[in-house]
Amino acid sequence: MSGNATIVAVTDDSFSAEVEKAKGLVLVDFWAEWCGPCRAIAPILDQLATEFDGQAKVTKVDVDANQRTTMQFNVRSIPALLFFKDGKHVDTVVGITPKANLQDRIRKHLG
How far does Cα 28 stand from its chain's mean position? 2
Exposure of 36 by Cβ count < 10 A (0-12 exposed, 13-18 middle, 19+ buried)? exposed
Q: Are 49 and 6 in contact (CB under 8 A)?
A: yes
CA distance 97 to 76: 17
Provide φ and ψ at 10, rounded to 5°: -115, 140
Give catalytic residues, as residue numbers: 35, 38
